[in-house]
């Protein structure tokens, strides 16, 4: 997403949000991977905030928030 920021809408339409949510759910023991997913959600939310809200990542992030660093 850093290399091709104009492709975010296309990736969202192809199922990026579901893939990121699934990855984040399965990576409960790997906090670094979950933090990278959150950073990806942040970049997507700048272009397509509705997709982020529909994906359900907000509740998932709030459930895991105790494990993240404060800067995340």
Domain boundaries, the chain: 5-67
Q: What is the pTM assigned to this prediction?
A: 0.74
pLDDT category of residue 72 using cuts at 50, 70 and 90? low
Residues counted in the chain: 72
- Other residues' Cβ atoms within 10 Å of the Cβ of residue 11: 19
Residue 55 has pLDDT above 60, yes or no: yes
- The tokens of 42 are what? 């942040």
Q: For residue range 2-50, what is the model confidence (pLDDT) as tens digits?
A: 556 677 777 887 778 888 888 888 877 788 888 888 888 888 888 888 8
Supply angle C-alpha 42, 25, 44, rounded to 5: 20
Mapped onto helix, strand or coil, the DSSP state of residue 46 is helix
Both tokens assigned to 32 = 């670094």
């Amino acid at each position: 997403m850093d290399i091709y920021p104009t492709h975010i809408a296309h990736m969202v339409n192809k199922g990026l949000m579901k893939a990121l949510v699934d990855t984040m759910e399965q990576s409960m023991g790997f906090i670094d991977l979950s933090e990278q997913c959150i950073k990806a959600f942040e970049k997507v939310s700048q272009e397509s905030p509705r997709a982020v809200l529909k994906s359900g990542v907000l509740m998932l992030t709030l459930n895991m928030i105790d494990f993240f660093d404060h800067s995340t």
